[in-house]
Structure 1
Amino acid sequence: MVKYQFKNDSLEDRRIFDQIYVHYHQLIYANIFKLIKDTAIAEDILQDVFFALWENRAKIDPEQSVSAWLFVVSYNRSVSYLRKKLKQGIQYVDSYDPFHAVAEEIFPDKRLIEAELNMLEEAINALPPQRQKVFKLCRFEGKSQKETAQLLGLSIESVKDYLKQSKNFIKEYILSKHSSGEMISILLLVMMMNL
């Protein structure tokens, strides 16, 4: 794992940021594009992710993987975009009652994505309260393990252990609900979260 540490020196930080961008932008773009399937939107989200990295550079724990941070932020922004588009699409279809029956044909992939996201949300909500807090802070709010430990009054080792337990629980939960493998993309996502 390559470690990057911003120095709060604008020239040095710019050099580090450029290195991170060159090293990760294609991989992050590919992950965004897999979900979005639109080059212009994927490029916009990629820009937003790296802008967020620049804006939050002082908060990023140098002991944590910057690639994991980039992946989580890009995933969250992609999912937010898809949820917004899905809601717009469903509202549009629902506003034309005669066409409601063809909604499944118009939005099949987005409905599958929504089902997968709901399954992931269900699994996260089934976690014990403390593990749920740790998981959400680290994976959805982009907090480092150190920041999460400080916020919740835990040791870093406890945070790491909670994240590992959460990953295993989510994986088992999804497999127990859908043993046929229909939720395989969510399982892959959980496994890639670098927990």
Structure 2
Amino acid sequence: MKADRSETDLLHALALGQIEAFDALYHRYKQPVYSNVVKLVRQTETAEDILQEVFVSLWINRQKIDLTKSVGGWLFVVSYNKAASFLKKKVRESAVVQGQADLPDAPAPDDRADEELYGLQMALIEEAVAHLPARKRDVFCRCRFQGLSTEEVADMTGLSVQSVNDYLKQSTRFVRDYIRTNAKSAQLVATTCLFLLLDQ
């Protein structure tokens, strides 16, 4: 398989079940996904487990991925949802240990419902990102979807590291506020939690 094969070609091949396409996408996106997840869970072993779950989900849903959009955005949403689920489980376990047994039981997982939620979240995030000015949108996508460091983005764009940090902070705030304002359900509003964590 050619190293310079386009993402669209890879996604078409992935939808047909070609393992080589999956491997190429895995190697292209494993570091950005891992970087995003480890920022949230702050545990390398857990981040590695979630990384594997994300790419298993990619394979399972290979025929449902929108071929007209970057798979990086899809991976971004799925990885943050899985990281958030891990964090919620940790909070619940901590509450049980501390004797707070009156917390409501977590609902049983529903993969189909999760995928529908991921799709809604991705659409809302993309809608918010589309409203950003071009430079801020570029910085946001490079840092959040591609997992690049602010130093790497500064080198690539010719901006100062401080400018990249400022753009990223402003863009994240805008996206978070946009979600709060435009989400039509509590589940979608919950996506905001991901962006609150991103500011840390």
What TM-score does the superposition give when structure 1 sets the normalisation length? 0.52
Instruction: Give, in angstroms, the shift of residue 49 of structure 1.
Output: 0.3
Residue 5, structure 1, aligned to residue 19, structure 2:
no
Distance 1:184 1:32 in 2: 14
- Identify the match of residue 41 of structure 2 among 36, 39, 58: 36
What TM-score does the superposition give when structure 2 sets the normalisation length? 0.51
Unpaired runs of 5+ residues, structure 2, are 1-5, 101-112, 132-171, 181-191
1:61–1:144: 8 Å Cα contact kept in structure 2? no
Aligned-residue Cα RMSD (Å) equals: 4.1
Q: Which residue of 1 aligns with 2:177?
A: 171
Q: 1:89 to 1:160 in 2, by over 3 A?
A: closer
Q: Which residue of 2 aligns with 1:56?
A: 61
Instruction: Give, in angstroms, the shift of residue 92 of structure 1.
Output: 1.0
Higher Rg of the two aligned structures: 1
SS at structure 1 position matched to 2:63? helix
- Identify the match of residue 28 of structure 2 among 23, 26, 32: 23
Residue 142, structure 1, aligned to residue 119, structure 2:
yes
2:77–2:121: 8 Å Cα contact kept in structure 1? no
1:29–1:42: 8 Å Cα contact kept in structure 2? yes
Unpaired runs of 5+ residues, structure 1, are 96-135, 149-158, 175-182, 191-195
SS at structure 1 position matched to 2:52? helix
Q: 1:184 to 1:138 in 2, by over 3 A?
A: closer
Aligned residues, how many? 129
SS at structure 2 position matched to 1:25? helix
Q: Which residue of 1 aligns with 2:195?
A: 186
Q: 1:184 to 1:137 in 2, by over 3 A?
A: closer
Q: 1:186 to 1:139 in 2, by over 3 A?
A: farther
2:51–2:79: 8 Å Cα contact kept in structure 1? yes
Distance 1:49 1:23 in 2: 14
Q: 1:42 to 1:54 in 2, by over 3 A?
A: same
Q: 1:56 to 1:169 in 2, by over 3 A?
A: closer
Residue 78, structure 1, aligned to residue 92, structure 2:
no
1:28–1:71: 8 Å Cα contact kept in structure 2? yes
Q: What's the CA shift string for 1:24-43, capped at 9, x where partnerless?
A: 10110111111111121111
Q: Which residue of 2 aligns with 1:117?
A: none
Q: Which residue of 2 aligns with 1:111?
A: none
Distance 2:12 2:179 in 1: 38
